[in-house]
Structure 1
């Protein structure tokens, strides 16, 4: 995921309002939570950690991408290196398959009612959403109607391509394959088109490089999430978000308590605070631009929904099918699109 990058630090004013937890405060508890490097790390240190301190809980953050969290937890062999995971759908399925999570009881979340039905289960709880579509510079190219448009000459020469290494990249490329007559089971139509446009495409690069290329005018079209669009616009970049005619894709980022955690009560409070209205409202604003999962918090203007309750209207994907074949896609993309 997720794919939240380089945010400026929020002022100390964000650390204000206390959260409405019932029961006694924990005293002197220290827990460790995995967090995505970059923007997530900054945001949770600024917004979430101060509210946990009000509960007597000190959080030590460990910046790790999702696949690295899974690898580190597996290598620990029952001695979890952190108390809470934060994961996108693919690594979440891997964590379930490897038995890395404590059984989760949603009833222990005082803010459970703020989540849409089904967004907390026996594995963990949703804490943020991502909405994925097409970003374009409206002063340079017309608004794309759908994924297949990206293979037309007027877009190819301005297109930034990135592979299957991220969740947003993977689902974007799957949607392109579907638009070209393919599927998760048959990605050949996608790779045939990628090979065809390779000599003319503006750039092929790492996901983290795409926003900078867009800002510098090296590309004018890319597939990305609404967070990136809002962040670039806040920096004065001409950029809009296009919802493909087949619909924007969406997925949830979730938190899970590590199997064998010695700070389970604190871990529940950590996740509960993350989904609370004050934290979700703060994280949805500049400079963070999270897509809130709390029903009482309105997503930002670039997000094509007015409440997380609309998430069922978006395109979703079956990661139990994707995970086994994704490594092959990554290797194939790197091999065929390199150079």
Structure 2
């Protein structure tokens, strides 16, 4: 998302009215949901099951993470929705801002089906995400084996580059920086090495545009998550995921109950439905490819880069309490020096 898109989206989100379902326990629950495939998946799969099994109508507000937090802060204690959906960075910001109710795992019937560590005092993991290097196998019979190779031929001249606005973009750039001697908090090597090859880079775009640019052949290699790879492959696009020698990146998307929600009971019913075995199994399938957190779901033939959820413990993960204070500056610098 570029700066203009960000401002327009934020303004649109601020203009939205507060959802009635967030204030009265009237047989509904209102969740914030990511636009696109997340909203489509929950509307078609989770909402009907929640209505059928719990008698609760699911309402959704289509909001990216930054807009969820901005809207909750602006509401000043009057919850604009009952549940958040967030990635690790925004989750830390929301915790520090006191935007969540304390989470009670005993109110989830399906809690025991999640491996240890999937639930804490703030919320519950609802889907895993894996980030690596996506490439066109017809253009690159030999895929890259490291993040460093993205800035060398034959890859750099076909590279699709995006910035720090998304979780997958941020962690990918951190790993590129680490490959050149940087660290989780030092991405200077990324900018230094990128300046050397920037004229060669095929495409620089916002995160939402990258799948289409890849599909159109404007780039043949990019960093992204397995969900995007699965979705494009289901459309017949020539795409595979390469795992760098440093390892695949993993993080979780989480649900949280908004501070001040008047529909707490229904919020737990909604979350419990979303993590249930049937829902997780369906959400994992085409065309949504959401990695499950429920240990009863079989990963066989799922097209995911793991055979069991336990393998996630050995994947590359990041400390967002360290990243968050620096991220705004990184975004501004990327927009100024790279995306201009």
Name the SS for the 1:157 alignment partner: helix
Match of 1:49 among 47, 50, 55: 47
Q: What is the CA–CA distance in structure 2 between the aligned matches of 1:85 and 1:188, rounded to whole Å?
A: 33
Instruction: Tell me how far 1:28 sits from its aligned partner.
Output: 5.4
Name the SS for the 1:153 alignment partner: coil
Check the 8 A contact 1:28/1:56 in 2, yes or no. Answer: no
Q: What is the CA–CA distance in structure 2 between the aligned matches of 1:66 and 1:333, rounded to whole Å?
A: 20
- After TM superposition, the structure 1 = structure 2 runs for residues 139-158 of structure 1, keeping only pairs within 5 Å, are 139-141=138-140, 142-158=142-158
Q: What is the CA–CA distance in structure 2 between the aligned matches of 1:298 and 1:198, rounded to whole Å?
A: 43
Check the 8 A contact 2:184/2:318 in 1, yes or no. Answer: no
Post-superposition Cα deviations, 1:224-270, rounded to whole Å, max 9, x if no partner, equal 00011111111111111011100000100000000111111111111
- After TM superposition, the structure 1 = structure 2 runs for residues 120-135 of structure 1, keeping only pairs within 5 Å, are 120-135=119-134
Post-superposition Cα deviations, 1:279-319, rounded to whole Å, max 9, x if no partner, equal 00010011111111111113464321122232101100000
1:68 aligned onto 2:67: yes
- Corresponding residue for residue 286 of structure 2: 286
- Give the number of aligned pairs: 314
Q: Which stretch of the first structure deviates more once superposed, 109-118 or 247-256? A: 109-118
Q: What is the CA–CA distance in structure 2 between the aligned matches of 1:306 and 1:321, rounded to whole Å?
A: 31
1:39 aligned onto 2:40: no
Q: What is the CA–CA distance in structure 2 between the aligned matches of 1:219 and 1:174, rounded to whole Å?
A: 21
- Corresponding residue for residue 270 of structure 1: 270
Q: What is the CA–CA distance in structure 1 between the aligned matches of 2:85 and 2:203, rounded to whole Å?
A: 31
Name the SS for the 2:154 alignment partner: helix
- Corresponding residue for residue 27 of structure 2: 29
Q: What is the CA–CA distance in structure 2 between the aligned matches of 1:301 and 1:200, rounded to whole Å?
A: 36
Check the 8 A contact 1:229/1:302 in 2, yes or no. Answer: no
- After TM superposition, the structure 1 = structure 2 runs for residues 114-263 of structure 1, keeping only pairs within 5 Å, are 114-141=113-140, 142-263=142-263
RMSD: 1.3
Check the 8 A contact 2:250/2:315 in 1, yes or no. Answer: yes
Check the 8 A contact 2:180/2:189 in 1, yes or no. Answer: yes
- After TM superposition, the structure 1 = structure 2 runs for residues 297-312 of structure 1, keeping only pairs within 5 Å, are 297-299=297-299, 301-312=302-313
